[in-house]
Structure 1
Amino acid sequence: MGAVALAMTVGTAAPASAAPKGGDTLRLTMLATTDLHGRAQNWDYFANRTYSERSGDTTGLAKVASVVDSVRQARGEDSVFVVDNGDFLQGTPLAYYYARQEPITETGVEHPMAAAYDAIGYDAQVVGNHEFNYGLDLLDAYTEDVDHPVLGANVVDEATGRPYQQPYTLHRMQVPGHKPVTVGILGLTTPGSAIWDKGNVEGRVRFEDMVESAEKWVPVVDAQADVVVVLSHAGVGSTSSYGPDVPTENPSDVIARTVPGIDAMVVGHTHRDAPSQVVRNEVTGQDVLLTQPYRWGATVSQVDFDLRKVRGQWDVVGTAATALRTKAAPESPEVLAATAEAHARTVEYVNQVVATSAQELSARTSRYEDTAILDFIQDVQTDTVDAALAGTDRADLPVLSIAAPFSRDAVFPRGDVTVRDIAGLYIYDNTLEAVELTGAQVRTYLEHSARYFEQVPATGDVDPETITNAVVPEAPNGIPDYNYDVLSGVDYDVDVSQPIGQRIVGLSHAGAPVADDDRFVVAVNNYRRSGGGGFPGISTAPVVYNEQQEIRQLLIDRAQADGVIDPADFFRANWRLVRNGVPLIG
């Protein structure tokens, strides 16, 4: 393939140590991606069209492939190696289809993401947290499919005490005219999967502290390699979206600062566009280059390593990072061909009509007002749990339901509603669970959720659009929409003029105030029940329902069974934003 014109954002070069005079010199190039999330082609399955966004960025491995081909052509294929930094098995209907509708664990078909990576010719990748969403059997099947090692040094087999994934790989590179170079690639992943996918991993694998694992494994790799790269499926800043019982979620900069022997790290998980960051290692005084490609294949990080032969050994004397945007690149015919059948089957699946909507239902304002489309989720969850409790000792307890506004763009059009419309509303592959909570715990839970709003002044105009996603210490970039929960089955106001912890007003059930010792069954997704988002009480509450049913499929099944989605059947406005008792909306 001919070279393509690439839009580039040049990162800062890490200062090189003083290079000795003379000797053999060589430049190697690493190309890195992260957080592809099931994007093989540049296609929006929810919109049923080529993917596009305002920035002009595009997505998918087909775009990435053309960038990789261009760099290989310019630099020489023997001097380029390609890595991926995790979160590749979940995120699109394509990934869902081959995990749940026609699972590769049953059909033996090659996973389309594996086919795409192999068409490009990757040399290594690390598992991300979303690799565990569909269970270890699917991850194992994918690992068997791909032609490169899938790493994960801190993912440990509970039965053997050894790494469940290959911890590292030694990639030998032979550039014509030079002595061989060994690139050691170590893989580490954020330990949050112990909570987020507890049902899939508990008792089978554990996730050890990333810093401690780096301290253990980097010296092993460094002793065998000329260049040491760490694939770190974690961000920087040590932020966390779970409690203190699990090691830090985003310690990539801590690893760079405290563990000697690393030349460069690929960072991910947080979906930031951060092509270059330099961290000074406290032990050696040397700079470590961190690069984070933008999510979904919007960029490819290019990291150049300048090497010099010193006393018969290769030394890294300079590193520099560049972000290659993929939007100007054509889609690779090879990747398109490798994934064509899987893509077509997925498009056919998501465009199946499952029901008719009596009116257009939008999620646009679900963050700050009760909406019918979110109540559709609540109603399905409530009915599913209520039916399952029949004949049990909790059959007479009220069933409440928790849901979050995952997508601001979700809409059920008036008329035909397809699988992709429902998948666009419920974009995650969560399963349904239920726990028992007291009235006091319900109130505390809602107070935690209400942190999502900025506190507003006692008087003056307030635009609800501007007071969401409040910044709190554990969410310095603002609380994400998926960590704001609304509750059905009780009535309450959220007074955003009050400080955090004092916002839930008028909490009642069936017309009576909720007492601290009231008992409720609460339907909730597995991510939240396992501790995702740090909501109090939910992860330790007694589990009363867990049949591993996917919420998205439950929504599709309800739509198909009823044939008509009519808000008159399920919508009841039970919560609102207020200021000193006065509603902010309507």
Structure 2
Amino acid sequence: MKKLAIILISTLLSVAPIEAKDNKTVKIKVIETSDVHGHFFPYDFMEQTPIKGTLSRANTYIKKQRKKYGEDHFLLIDNGDILQGQPCVYWSNYVMPEDENIAASVINYMKYDAETVGNHDIEPGHKVYDKWIREVRCPLLGANIVKEEYKNAEARPEHIYTGLKPYSVHYKDGVKIVVIGMITPAIPNWLNKSIWKGLEFEEMTACAKKWIKYVKENEKPDLIFGLFHSGLNGGIKTAEYEEDATESVAREVPGFDIIFFGHDHQVHNMLITNKAGEKVLCVDPSCYVNNVAEAEITLTYKDGKLSKKSIIGNIVNVRDEKIDKQMITYFQPTIDKVKEYVSQKIGYFKNPIYTRESFFGNSAFTDLIHNLQMSISKADISFNAPLAFDTTIDAGEVTQADMFKLYRFENLLFVLKMTGEEIRKHLEFSYDMWCNTMTSPNDHALRLNDDSKEDQQRTGFQYYTFNFDSACGIDYEVDLTKPDGQKVRILRMSNGEPFDEKKWYKVVMNSYRANGGGELLTRGAGIPQDSLESRVLFHTELDQRHYLTEEIKRLGTIDPQKNNNWKFVPEAWVKPALERDRKQLFEK
């Protein structure tokens, strides 16, 4: 078990009294999980192999800390994105929706004290998350998830979406703690409005200011925590909001002692100085329960008043903790049912397919999805990106587990009308994120930098692969010697007809992309965000994986091949450069 620690100590001149002895010291441990994505059990239902980490190992560590500190000195919180990921949550969300949601069952079993809603908890749709909210027994938080009619209104709990709370209150050995939860407000850029109908997502900094003021005036707590499903910084930035706003809130909104955050799938443990000159501990454990984030808090009271706070932040690696056998025994019937579900036979592949090929040109993996999308939708052109950095589906029998490897997310399938010019600009934006501009044969073809930082570059590159769109239905070249915005040259439609930049085409893509995800349609193609809905010609009712599965069942046996409809040029430069980049990315 490894720890990364950071310490915050502050002396308080005037603070609210507590109901306690005049002089005492109180020690409190707080543990956060985040971006669990269905990683409950030590088994990968996609790969059908054991895995490290997961809540089943974290709970062993959590139990030890709970016992060490005692229930009256311990707080367990989760930061959302729990309802999508491993097949066990899909099975619970859609295959067995009449049972208690497995994500609720796990949260309840582990005795969490509070949980914030994440964007992947909204994506399964009202029917799923409304039920999940009712089933979770700890407070579910979302101060900036408000009823549509109350967006940007003053802070009042009844404005929050039904079933959620803006904050939760916890008493530990006489210490009053308030946890304020918020979600990234970028939901409208990713999800069709029908999924979040009746809701609005407020900008985080302004929302935090409202609720800090409200909490201080009405609750008068000893400690205030943030529990934010929003990364440190970066992501989508518009005139209205930032996707990853934790750093902005920490700096601009005095009052938080600690901000526990997530969403960016990165490890963070730092002190940020706010504009009042106070240090705020900000911690993020990353994803898939390889780590937990924690805070060790020591409060000193003199004459009934809080005089000193000491806060130590830790990132604790739980990958190799022992499995909580009691937890596994409790959930074993569910685990067995999920294993049975993912073992179902879907079809047969004559050849293996690999996502890693998708970064270097046509890929049988990506092109299989392209071809299935075209077959299902009858569109003219398809956009698709590899949703995993390095995944393989072997030749032979294809199971339901393989379908989660083929398509990882519960996106819908959308068809939009786009002009030829918009299609080219969309692809330009994609390849600009993905590819370098080569000035010599020795340059990288992909956006990789210093070879001495291979691990860093590999991690950075793989994080954004879901935005690396290629196209099917057109033949084109990507010239890596050209500057950004000028790399893509569309030669013709793949059926031999001319391609016309002024003509309207039917383009199939997933719902994340169709609603502005990755900004390929907005910043890339130049379609205003508020115009995207008017471009929609059709969308499916069920998730894309469902339709891909049904199409493979219908076809039975598939011989996945590359479409060979696009390539990088000039080949004399790019062929050796791509081979060098392949070694850097995949030869560990």
TM-score under structure 1 length normalisation: 0.87
Q: 2: CA distance between counterparts of 1:508 and 1:583?
A: 22
Name the count of aligned residue pairs.
Answer: 543
Structure 2 counterpart of 1:77, from 44, 52, 71:
71
Counterpart for residue 414 of structure 2:
433
* Compared CA separation, residues 465 and 418, structure 1 to 2 (3 A): farther
Which residues of 2 match residues 550-565 of structure 1 at below 5 A?
A: 550-565=543-558
Write the mapping of 1:519-530 to structure 2, written as runs, cut at 5 A.
Answer: 519-530=504-515
SS of alignment partner, residue 540 of structure 2: strand
CA–CA distance in structure 2, aligned partners of residues 379 and 331 of structure 1: 42
**Cα distance in 1, alignment partners of residues 45 and 390 from structure 2:** 13
Query: Which amino acid in the other structure matches residue 153 of structure 1?
Result: A
Percent identical across equivalent pairs?
25
Q: Deviation string for 1:212-235 (max 9, x for gaps)?
A: 110000122234211111101111
CA contact (8 A) 1:133 1:200 kept: no
Whether 1:124 and 2:124 are equivalent positions in the alignment is: no
**One-letter amino acid matched to 2:252:** T
Q: What is the CA–CA distance in structure 2 between the aligned matches of 1:467 and 1:292, rounded to whole Å? A: 26
Residue 242 of structure 2: SS of its match in structure 1?
Answer: coil
Match of 1:296, SS state, is coil
Aligned to 2:40: 40
Please tell me whether the aligned partners of residues 436 and 543 of structure 1 are also in contact (alpha carbons under 8 angstroms). Answer: yes
Structure 2 match to 1:271:
265
Question: Which residue of 2 is the match for residue 573 of structure 1?
Answer: 564
Is the deviation greater in 532-541 or in 459-468?
459-468
Match of 2:373, SS state, is helix
Would you say 1:150 and 2:134 are equivalent positions?
Answer: no
Query: Quick one: which amino acid aligns to residue 512 of structure 2?
Result: Y
SS of corresponding position for 1:153: coil
Gaps spanning 5+ residues in structure 2: where? 15-21, 152-158, 454-458, 580-588
What is residue 17 of structure 2 aligned with on the other side?
A: none
Q: Which moved more, 1:198-207 or 1:549-558?
A: 198-207
Secondary structure class of the residue paired with 2:76: strand
Amino acid at match of 1:226: D
SS of the counterpart of 2:210?
helix
Q: How does 1:19-418 map to 2 (within 5 A)?
A: 23-51=23-51, 58-103=52-97, 107=98, 109-159=99-149, 162-164=159-161, 165-174=164-173, 180-223=174-217, 224=219, 225-237=221-233, 239-241=234-236, 244=238, 246-274=240-268, 276-283=269-276, 285-315=277-307, 317-386=309-378, 399-418=380-399
Instruction: Give the Cα separation in 2 of the matches to 1:311 and 1:281.
Output: 29
Query: Could you tell me whether the CA contact under 8 Å between 2:361 and 2:566 is conserved in 1?
Result: yes
Deviation, structure 1 residue 207: 0.1
Which of the numbers 495, 514, 519 marks the counterpart of 2:479?
A: 495
Q: Deviations over 1:128-187 (max 9, x none)?
A: 11110111232221122122100000000115661112101111123xxxxx11111110
Where 1:232 maps in the other structure, the secondary structure is strand
Query: How far apart in 1 are the matches of 2:204 and 2:84?
Result: 22
User: How far apart in 2 are the matches of 1:518 and 1:468?
Assistant: 39
Deviation per CA, 1:501-547: give whole Å up to 9, x if none: 11012432143552221221000100001011011346534111112
Amino acid corresponding to residue 135 of structure 2 in structure 1 = D
Deviations 1:62-103 (A, max 9, x none): 112111111122222321111111111111101111111222
2:324 maps to a residue whose letter is: S
Q: What is the alpha-carbon distance in structure 2 between the residues aligned to residue 13 and residue 496 of structure 1? A: 47
Q: Contact 1:366/1:408 (CA < 8 Å) preserved in 2?
A: no
Distance 1:521 1:149, change over 3 A: same
2:8 maps to a residue whose letter is A
Q: What is the CA distance between 1:455 and its match in structure 2?
A: 2.6
Q: Is residue 480–residue 574 contact of structure 2 (8 Å, CA) maintained in 1?
A: no
Asked if residue 442 in structure 1 is aligned to residue 423 in structure 2, the reply is: yes
Distance 1:300 1:436 in 2: 45
In the alignment, the residues of structure 2 paired with residue 464 and residue 408 of structure 1 have an alpha-carbon distance, to the nearest angstrom, of: 17
Q: CA–CA distance in 2 between the matches of 1:291 and 1:467?
A: 28
CA RMSD of aligned residues (A): 2.5
Give the 3-state SS of the residue equivalent to 1:11 in structure 2: strand
Q: Deviation digits for residues 356-377 of structure 1, max 9, x if unmatched?
A: 1112222221122101221111
How far is 1:198 from its partner? 2.7
Question: Residues 407-426 of structure 1: CA distance to partner in whole angstroms, max 9, x if unpaired?
Answer: 23333322111111121021
CA contact (8 A) 2:116 2:183 kept: yes
Note if contact 1:85-1:127 (Cα within 8 Å) is conserved in structure 2. yes
Q: Which moved more, 1:123-132 or 1:535-544?
A: 535-544
Q: Structure 1, residues 184-205: CA drift from partner, whole Å, max 9, x if none?
A: 1110110111222233445410
In 1: Cα distance, 2:489 partner to 2:446 partner? 21
Q: CA deviation at 1:17?
A: 2.6
Letter in 1 for 2:170: H
Q: How far has the Cα of 1:59 moved from its partner?
A: 2.5
CA displacement, residues 365-421 of structure 1 (integer Å, 9 cap, x when unaligned): 1122101221111111112211xxxxxxxxxxx611111011233333221111111
* Contact 2:117 2:141 (8 Å CA) reproduced: yes
